[in-house]
Amino acid sequence: MGNTPSIFYRDRARAQEFLDTITIWKAVNYKKDVIKDPYTRTALVLTYIKGDNVNSWAKRQLDILNEKQQNNLDPNGAPSKTWWTNFKRAFKDAFTFTASKETALAQLKKLTMNKGNIDTYIATFD
């Protein structure tokens, strides 16, 4: 349901946008078993990470995920919710700008209103 996420090709400028799209997609499809389960959700999201610059990273994440499932101590084989959290953290560490807060603050300090266009001025950091 809803629009599926665009393929992520390692464009750091779009990494947070990719995660935000995944979050919306997850919310729209929250009743679907594939989304409810952290293992299948993570594996599904990995199918949207493609390209020469990210294939090895995605493969490594799949290996980590499969290792967690194979070593799962839950008697019913239920995946831990931390698997999804760990995946998102690994994605952010690998692909988002680490200085985004500092960059935003520097841009904010330089922000000025041009030609009396208050809407553009306000929307800059909306």
HEC profile for 27-46? HHCCCCHHHHCHHHHHHHHH
pTM: 0.75
Q: Looking up tokens 């967690």, which residue turns up?
A: 68
Question: Which tens digit of pLDDT belongs to each residue from 73-99?
Answer: 988 889 999 999 999 999 999 998 766
Return the bridge partners of 49, or none. 8
Rounded to the nearest 10 degrees, the angle between the axes of helix 38-46 and helix 55-70 is 160
Question: Which tens digit of pLDDT belongs to each residue from 31-53?
Answer: 999 999 999 999 999 999 999 98
Joined together, the tokens standing for residue 65 give 């995920």
Which amino acid is residue 56, in one-letter code? S
